[in-house]
């Protein structure tokens, strides 16, 4: 595999760290971006200024930064909470992709991967989160359409319940309730997301673009059974 320069946003989170490690194992040079902590670029993607020209050399853009813990149903969602999710999860993702695209188009090679969510199909109690992640569908597909002739692919990964510190930090009764709904009886691991990211970022994935790929242990599958009920 040729060494490429990758940028991972939200690099200090559970999934972000796993992605950085896996891309380094694949031989890539990895630059990190987060709103705080140890990283190459400390930037608020929602409202902060992006360093001019800093991302022109990026070959692989992994848009992982996002807010996942805004909890409110549609009838009580405040304008401030709504804007918080949209500004980072959707607009912030667009801003970093746009900044990386210029160099990719000049070099006629690039890989863009957005970490979306199965919540993009709708998630009770997370109206702003669901809307922001659903917006990534149109964003990524449009980038794929506009850039496929220049050797640039754009895809989305839709994780389900992944065992990140934030997920594992939920109240135990919530964890138990969610776990009861998991077809595989477990949460996913950040490394399982990172493995797919590494593939989509590589040379061999050059014919895959504009796709939403769920990594959710089957939770998004309907479990209605019209046949005779039986226990395994």
Question: Is the pLDDT confidence value at 224 over 80?
Answer: no
Question: Is the pLDDT confidence value at 1 over 60?
Answer: no
Q: What is the pLDDT of residue 187?
A: 94
pTM for the whole structure? 0.93
Q: What is the pLDDT of residue 22?
A: 98
Question: Is the pLDDT confidence value at 230 over 70?
Answer: no
Highest mean pLDDT among 118-132, 137-151, 165-179: 137-151
Q: Tell me what the mean pLDDT of segment 22-43 comes to.
A: 97
Greatest distance between any 2 Cα atoms in the chain: 62
CA dist., res. 11 & res. 31, Å (int): 9
Sheet holding 60-63, edge to edge: 41-42, 29-34, 5-9, 60-63, 110-115, 152-159, 212-215
Question: b or e along 53-82 (b: 16 or more beta carbons within 10 Å of the residue's beta carbon)?
Answer: ebbeebbbbbbbbbbbebebeeeebeeebb
Which residues are annotated as catalytic?
Answer: 129
**pLDDT-derived band at 194, boundaries 50, 70, 90:** very high
Which residues share a beta bridge with 63? 114
């Amino acid at each position: 595999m040729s060494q490429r320069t990758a940028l991972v946003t939200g690099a200090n989170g559970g999934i972000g760290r796993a992605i950085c490690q896996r891309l380094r194992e694949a031989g890539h040079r990895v630059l990190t971006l987060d709103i705080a902590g140890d990283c190459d670029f400390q930037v608020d993607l929602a409202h902060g200024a992006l360093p001019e020209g800093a991302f022109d050399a990026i070959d692989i853009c992994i848009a992982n930064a996002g807010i996942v813990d805004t909890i409110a149903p549609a009838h009580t969602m405040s304008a401030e909470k709504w804007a918080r999710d949209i500004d980072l999860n959707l607009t912030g993702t667009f801003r970093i992709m746009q900044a990386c695209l210029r160099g990719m188009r000049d070099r006629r090679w690039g890989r863009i991967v957005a970490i979306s969510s199965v919540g993009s199909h709708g998630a009770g109690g997370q109206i702003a989160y669901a809307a922001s992640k659903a917006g990534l569908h149109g964003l990524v597909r449009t980038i794929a359409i506009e850039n496929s002739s220049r050797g640039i692919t754009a895809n989305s990964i839709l994780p389900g319940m992944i065992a990140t510190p934030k997920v594992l930090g939920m109240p135990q009764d919530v964890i138990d309730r969610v776990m009861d709904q998991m077809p595989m009886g477990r949460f996913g691991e950040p490394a399982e997301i990172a493995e797919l990211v590494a593939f989509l970022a590589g040379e061999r994935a050059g014919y895959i673009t504009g796709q939403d790929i769920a990594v959710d242990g089957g939770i998004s599958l309907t479990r209605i059974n019209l046949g005779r009920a039986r226990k395994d």
